[in-house]
Structure 1
Amino acid sequence: MYDGRLSTLDQARYPAGATPSRNDVCVDHNRVIRDATVRLSMASTAVEACQWTVTTLARYAPATVSVLLHVHDRLRTVAATGSWQVFSTVPPKAGIVGRVYASGLPATVGRVAEDPDYLPVHPDVTAEICVPVCDPAGSPIGVLDLQWRTEVELDPWRRTAELLAARLGARIMALGGPPAESRSEKLLRHATAMTAAQTEWELLGTAIGAAREVSTLAAAIVVLGGRDGPRLDAPTGVPGELEGRLRAELAEAGPAALGRLVARAHRHGAAYTLGEAGHPPTEDYAPLDRAGVRTLIVVPVGQPDVGGVLLVADGRRLRPDPTTVNLMELLAGQAWSCLDRLRTLHQLSEQANSDPLTGLRHTGPFGQRIAAATPGRTALLAIDVDGFKSVNDTYGHQEGDRVLVGLARALQAALRHGDELFRIGGDEFVAVIEVHRPAEAVRIAERLTEAARRTGRTISVGVAVAEPHESPEATLRRADQALYFVKRNGRDAVRLAAD
């Protein structure tokens, strides 16, 4: 019978003043292994095998016990007990559990406070044993983790944990391997990725990939509203055969047909077809039928006036269950929330970086742009409105604002795609363009003067091409000097600055 006294061997194992619990000294580790092995043989699923292992260990070990398996790209807690808090998922290399999984080597940590990888779960945890759970070939598929809040003899428990982890791994593989990621977990993973998306392209690509993976159907397309009516989202990657045909048919059908699909979804809500033979589709879905779609889920996205629709389709005749449709609705709602956030952020950014009168970007973005000038290629066109002060003095600032807005629109329209126009002062503009030779920059400047004349005003333009080893400020000064030369010599002209 245990009387609380330590043997000579035990005294050497424990620090002065520390005593093991009665359970620690009296544990029959052979019995622990035997009981757990019997329970493992009764498990019918991998999750059950993990739960039986944890439950059996918890009966003998006064510790937090958990099993984490590698699911998709993270270590996921499949079974746990005895903890105030359990991490649901852990990155594959995070914490002691991640270190053990990545290395395939067990870890015995007598003082967790001294281990930089320890993930705090309970403030009283003092020691941790973590061993890899491997398949029969020896490759880790997860970890078995035990954490103590009392003094304990770690070596016997580590040996027990290693034996049980080996048997658990064998049983899990015999039952088909670690559990697959559920559809809800997939949706959550994709929702996190959509929240982190930086562009609409990235967001829509993530949403389309999520729709395919969660629904298990072959094709997914997003139709969104625009100024000219509904439009197909830009394809992400190389679409599959069905998705390619579907895009082609919808593009040929045109905005009116897309509009009917969107209106129908927003009027009646999500819908799906059972894909049964002998039941022809309605006229609105005829383009999808021609593309070879035999199973379809249609989910509204956003608001009727500015939103769109998510189409998830397959060429097989399937029977989508209501749960799949519900998950697509959740996906569409998350995608729209993220899209609305991106558009709001973009609008705020444009407002912060744009001149409120003309809508052109102003000095902040201009400084960033000319800082990236390429010697011999980037040209600065300094532009000044001739006689603008007299407009303000004679007709007032309201008329002056009208003149500036009209000129800004005319100049912007006269530039090529990719050229940029900035307003850097009251009636001062600068165009930043990329050219192959100075004469090309002069021709574009002359196009600007012609565009200004059509508005009933004239402008003076100084042109300078960035030189090697020249600062952007110096290039701008040369353009200004050329501009002032034009102003002093009759205005309404263009001059190329000297090198």
Structure 2
Amino acid sequence: MRVNHQKVIRDVTVRLPMASTVTEVCEAAVSALARYTPATIAILLHVHGRLRCVAATGSWQVFATVAPDAGIVGRVYTGGQPAIVPDVDADADHIPVRPDVTAELCVPVLDPAGRPIGVLDLQWTGPADLASWQVVAERVAARLGARIVALGGPAESRSEKLLRHASAMTAATTEWDLMAAAIAAARDVSTLAAAVLLLGGRGGPRLGAPTVAPDGLETRIRAELGEVGRSALRRIIDRAHRYGAGYTLGESGHPPTAEHEPLVRAGVGTLVAVPFGPPERGGVLLVADERLLRPDPTTVNLMELLAGQAWGCLDRLRTLDRLRVQASSDPLTGLRHTGPFGQRIASATPGRTALLAIDVDGFKTVNDTYGHQAGDRVLVDLARALEGALRQGDELYRIGGDEFVAVIEVGLPDEAVRVAERLTEAARRIGRTISVGVALPHPGESPELTLRRADQALYAVKRRGRDGVHLSAA
């Protein structure tokens, strides 16, 4: 059947101005074209680095997003030129969406300046006058592009934004990066001006990572909450966890609840408050704006989904951190062990880093006389005592049964000896004695050789009667 292409173009042209959103425009165009051809039709627009399918009809599967350089659609988008493919089997770029497609026509959707913003794609399962349909498709695409730009251009839906931000949160490798990603996501998805995370847990309520310049509503909220004290922050968190997510109605003249008065003082006119994590360990996500707005329930639902995703990512990061600590520390004393110690001494600075080899005097007698549990108690108590005697920045490792090593930064050998003597005094205060050998790396000397010299100095103390310090001279 011969198609009146002018009628097709008129039909589409009449429908487009009646659509008030980009999605409605694309759906109207697809619906109008589908009245005149059995082709599989799709409109894909470029949004955040992907070609996103905004409207489609006539296929078993539609690709929601396509890379901008993938398939015939990607080739047309990146090149800005139409593609007529009478035999899809002969074109390696064809993306199969149904098994019986034989021919494909794809044209770019251009903005008024001639820049591609997407593609209009048609695929046939039988004979089609591709040349005539190319003229129709190009004219429809031109009207489509103009109308899309008039409506503000291609844009993500809020659910698409949430998905993109969820990927960013999943990729975060630190708590700071995760909180920054969650706060940015809350602002973007909600379209409100500010977002703040209040975190609970054992450390007490605290503010999450800041993400904006120090002159906006978010900064004022953080400053106000920083002044009210932990008990006030706890009340905000407890309210959200006791009653659930809440939001303002954007109406003036209504006093805030007592918990929210600090936010009003900061200039908040609109607020969404969403529980974050479990009551005993979580917090609350606060999303706010200075304007009196009326958030719809869908916005609150999206913030709840966002908070749930953010908490899951945060819990995963904390679990990984605990596993890393367990993997790199001695389970008895909690001190770091041989793996981290090897990395640390490999970065020792010649003439500045001292190694203190430490051995517990008479430890075998404790084990043989009182048993291994008593020996373990000695090691734990001694580890705490030695850590308390070290300076800020000094590091203590357990590298064997009753063998410890301290890595310290010093200016002179005498300084290292004084630190070692502080360790022997700390041991005496808990009723134990230790022998300490001290060595400073020589230029070009391997860390292993430095540690061997520290051990030799330690055994020099043992030979002299234990409970002392010896500095390696060679």
Instruction: Tell me the distance in 2 between the aligned counterparts of 1:212 and 1:114.
Output: 47
Partner of 2:30: 54
* Superposed displacement of residue 419, structure 1: 3.7
Deviations 1:295-354 (A, max 9, x none): 222222122221111122222333333322222222222222222222222222322332
**In structure 2, do the counterparts of structure 1 residues 107 and 456 end up closer, same or farther at CA, with 3 Å as the change threshold?**
farther
**In structure 2, do the counterparts of structure 1 residues 308 and 34 end up closer, same or farther at CA, with 3 Å as the change threshold?**
same
Partner of 2:339: 364
* Superposed displacement of residue 482, structure 1: 2.9
Residues 130 and 146 of structure 1 are in contact (CA less than 8 Å); yes or no, is this contact kept in structure 2? yes
2:380 aligned with 1:402: no
Partner of 2:141: 165
**In structure 2, do the counterparts of structure 1 residues 67 and 406 end up closer, same or farther at CA, with 3 Å as the change threshold?**
same
2:436 aligned with 1:461: yes
Residues 117 and 154 of structure 2 are in contact (CA less than 8 Å); yes or no, is this contact kept in structure 1? no
**In structure 2, do the counterparts of structure 1 residues 286 and 123 end up closer, same or farther at CA, with 3 Å as the change threshold?**
same
Instruction: Tell me the distance in 1 between the aligned counterparts of 2:400 and 2:242.
Output: 50
Instruction: Tell me the distance in 2 between the aligned counterparts of 1:216 and 1:207.
Output: 14
- TM-score norm. by structure 1 comes to 0.83
**In structure 2, do the counterparts of structure 1 residues 164 and 241 end up closer, same or farther at CA, with 3 Å as the change threshold?**
closer
Instruction: Tell me the distance in 2 between the aligned counterparts of 1:446 and 1:339.
Output: 43
Gaps of 5+ in 1: 1-25
Residues 273 and 297 of structure 1 are in contact (CA less than 8 Å); yes or no, is this contact kept in structure 2? yes
- TM-score norm. by structure 2 comes to 0.87
Aligned with residue 85 of structure 1, among 51, 61, 72: 61
Aligned with residue 223 of structure 1, among 180, 198, 208: 198
**In structure 2, do the counterparts of structure 1 residues 62 and 451 end up closer, same or farther at CA, with 3 Å as the change threshold?**
farther
The range that moved more, 293-302 or 143-152, is: 143-152
The range that moved more, 436-445 or 379-388, is: 436-445
- How many positions carry a matched residue from both structures? 471
Aligned with residue 355 of structure 1, among 288, 308, 330: 330
The range that moved more, 407-416 or 382-391, is: 407-416
Identity %: 70
Residues 12 and 140 of structure 2 are in contact (CA less than 8 Å); yes or no, is this contact kept in structure 1? no
**In structure 2, do the counterparts of structure 1 residues 316 and 169 end up closer, same or farther at CA, with 3 Å as the change threshold?**
closer
DSSP 3-state at the match of 1:131:
strand
Partner of 1:64: 40
**In structure 2, do the counterparts of structure 1 residues 447 and 48 end up closer, same or farther at CA, with 3 Å as the change threshold?**
same
Partner of 1:421: 396
**In structure 2, do the counterparts of structure 1 residues 159 and 305 end up closer, same or farther at CA, with 3 Å as the change threshold?**
same
Instruction: Tell me the distance in 2 between the aligned counterparts of 1:37 and 1:418.
Output: 77
Partner of 1:295: 270
Instruction: Tell me the distance in 2 between the aligned counterparts of 1:96 and 1:453.
Output: 79
* Superposed displacement of residue 193, structure 1: 1.9
* Superposed displacement of residue 398, structure 1: 0.6
The range that moved more, 176-185 or 398-407, is: 176-185
* Superposed displacement of residue 77, structure 1: 0.4
Partner of 1:318: 293
Instruction: Tell me the distance in 2 between the aligned counterparts of 1:229 and 1:189.
Output: 31
Aligned with residue 74 of structure 2, among 98, 101, 108: 98
* Superposed displacement of residue 437, structure 1: 5.3
Partner of 1:146: 122
**In structure 2, do the counterparts of structure 1 residues 403 and 250 end up closer, same or farther at CA, with 3 Å as the change threshold?**
same
Partner of 1:472: 447
**In structure 2, do the counterparts of structure 1 residues 241 and 169 end up closer, same or farther at CA, with 3 Å as the change threshold?**
closer
DSSP 3-state at the match of 2:109:
strand
Residues 376 and 468 of structure 1 are in contact (CA less than 8 Å); yes or no, is this contact kept in structure 2? yes
* Superposed displacement of residue 186, structure 1: 1.9
DSSP 3-state at the match of 2:288:
strand
* Superposed displacement of residue 99, structure 1: 4.1
Instruction: Tell me the distance in 2 between the aligned counterparts of 1:440 and 1:121.
Output: 75
Amino acid at match of 2:145: G
Equivalent residues in 2 for 1:262-301 (5 A)? 262-274=237-249, 276-301=251-276
Residues 202 and 281 of structure 2 are in contact (CA less than 8 Å); yes or no, is this contact kept in structure 1? no
Amino acid at match of 1:208: I
Partner of 2:112: 136
**In structure 2, do the counterparts of structure 1 residues 57 and 350 end up closer, same or farther at CA, with 3 Å as the change threshold?**
same
* Superposed displacement of residue 395, structure 1: 1.5
The range that moved more, 487-496 or 182-191, is: 487-496
**In structure 2, do the counterparts of structure 1 residues 69 and 484 end up closer, same or farther at CA, with 3 Å as the change threshold?**
same
Gaps of 5+ in 2: none
2:15 aligned with 1:39: no
The range that moved more, 164-173 or 246-255, is: 164-173
Deviations 1:81-105 (A, max 9, x none): 2222111123434444334333434
* Superposed displacement of residue 155, structure 1: 5.9
The range that moved more, 436-445 or 269-278, is: 436-445
Backbone CA RMSD of aligned residues: 3.1
**In structure 2, do the counterparts of structure 1 residues 300 and 239 end up closer, same or farther at CA, with 3 Å as the change threshold?**
farther
2:183 aligned with 1:183: no
Amino acid at match of 1:279: H
2:192 aligned with 1:192: no
* Superposed displacement of residue 188, structure 1: 2.3
Instruction: Tell me the distance in 2 between the aligned counterparts of 1:417 and 1:455.
Output: 22
Instruction: Tell me the distance in 1 between the aligned counterparts of 2:206 and 2:465.
Output: 50
Instruction: Tell me the distance in 1 between the aligned counterparts of 2:471 and 2:439.
Output: 6
Deviations 1:24-76 (A, max 9, x none): xx765xx3465034313322333333234334555566543211112234321
**In structure 2, do the counterparts of structure 1 residues 370 and 317 end up closer, same or farther at CA, with 3 Å as the change threshold?**
same
Residues 224 and 262 of structure 2 are in contact (CA less than 8 Å); yes or no, is this contact kept in structure 1? yes
Amino acid at match of 1:36: I
2:189 aligned with 1:214: yes
DSSP 3-state at the match of 1:235:
coil
Instruction: Tell me the distance in 1 between the aligned counterparts of 2:92 and 2:462.
Output: 69
Instruction: Tell me the distance in 1 between the aligned counterparts of 2:439 and 2:70.
Output: 55
Instruction: Tell me the distance in 1 between the aligned counterparts of 2:51 and 2:220.
Output: 39
Residues 70 and 178 of structure 1 are in contact (CA less than 8 Å); yes or no, is this contact kept in structure 2? no
Instruction: Tell me the distance in 1 between the aligned counterparts of 2:207 and 2:433.
Output: 43
The range that moved more, 252-261 or 277-286, is: 277-286
Partner of 1:22: none
**In structure 2, do the counterparts of structure 1 residues 293 and 425 end up closer, same or farther at CA, with 3 Å as the change threshold?**
same
**In structure 2, do the counterparts of structure 1 residues 172 and 298 end up closer, same or farther at CA, with 3 Å as the change threshold?**
closer
Partner of 1:3: none
DSSP 3-state at the match of 1:249:
helix
**In structure 2, do the counterparts of structure 1 residues 142 and 464 end up closer, same or farther at CA, with 3 Å as the change threshold?**
farther
DSSP 3-state at the match of 1:382:
strand
Instruction: Tell me the distance in 2 between the aligned counterparts of 1:435 and 1:109.
Output: 75
Instruction: Tell me the distance in 2 between the aligned counterparts of 1:419 and 1:378.
Output: 10
DSSP 3-state at the match of 2:448:
helix
Partner of 1:481: 456
